[in-house]
Amino acid sequence: MARGARQPAAPGAHRRPRRVLLKLSGEMIGGSSGAGFAAEGLSLLADQIAGARGAGAEIAVMIGGGNLVRGTRAGFLPRAEADGIGMLGTLMNALALRAALESRETPAAVLSAFAVPRFADLYRPELGRALLAEGRVLLLAGGTGQTHLTTDTAAALRALELHCTLLIKATKVDGVYSADPAREPGARRFASLSYEEVLARRLAVMDLTAITLCMENGLPLVVLNATTPGSVARYLRSGRGGTRVGAVARRAPRRRA
């Protein structure tokens, strides 16, 4: 092998993903209350995103709007109107995250699925890919731009359009469990799962449409705890932590400590 040539990765070795889409819950921006904007919530997520970029990956972010639209779930608004309000909420969250990132000298751009020229450019896949290649964090607002579709589905769709090699769903738990760990102390965390297992077991990973999109296009998914500082960058560097969902499950579930 020539001097300076890169050693081939050993079988089963972790390969750092080049381009990643990070799906974030809007409630995380709300901090401990899960509502509105909280300095600690914005700071935590901005640190996670900046750290992930520092790990060498190009980072796109799909943010939800649950911190701003919690009242729409009470049933007093029709679904279409509630979804429209939620899409506006994701734009507000994306703008807040951009400000938090730029205060950390992390360049970021907001693209919206619907036209809001005063605040963001309209999303186009080729524009998104160009911004990522320039080294900017790409903040995606507005979901798919359509009602009756979740931001989980939007995350899977945008990950494919942007040619991402990994989708990370950042949550408040450290992976996928056999049952709700808050209610079942004996719940087991899975180290890995196949797409088919997620669908057959009806595990609360992402919605059916999002999982199906990932499965049909071979897009791997990782679920990890974003409330642990540095967890996203740590996974990108080492492949450790969380639950990986892909074509083949590799390990048995682990009992929760």
Contact partners, residue 15, CB within 8 Å, separation at least 6? 9
Nearest Cα neighbor of 61 from 46, 41, 39 is 46
145 annotated to a ligand binding site: yes
104 annotated to a ligand binding site: no
24 annotated to a ligand binding site: yes
56 annotated to a ligand binding site: no
26 annotated to a ligand binding site: yes
For residues 224 and 176, what is the distance between their CA atoms, to the nearest angstrom?
Answer: 8
For residues 43 and 153, what is the distance between their CA atoms, to the nearest angstrom?
Answer: 26
Pairing of strands 243-246, 221-225: antiparallel
The torsion region of residue 62 among left (phi > 0), alpha (psi -120 to 50) and beta comes to: beta
146 annotated to a ligand binding site: yes
147 annotated to a ligand binding site: yes
178 annotated to a ligand binding site: no
142 annotated to a ligand binding site: no
Please classify residue 116 by burial: count the beta carbons closer than 10 Å to its beta carbon, then call 0-12 exposed, 13-18 middle and 19+ buried. Answer: middle
Nearest Cα neighbor of 167 from 149, 151, 190 is 151
151 annotated to a ligand binding site: yes
Please classify residue 33 by burial: count the beta carbons closer than 10 Å to its beta carbon, then call 0-12 exposed, 13-18 middle and 19+ buried. Answer: exposed
171 annotated to a ligand binding site: yes
With tokens 């450790």, the residue in question is 240
Q: Residues within the annotated binding site?
A: 23-26, 65-66, 70, 83, 144-151, 171, 177, 180
Known binding positions for UMP: 65, 83, 144-151
Annotated binding site for ATP: 23-26, 66, 70, 171, 177, 180
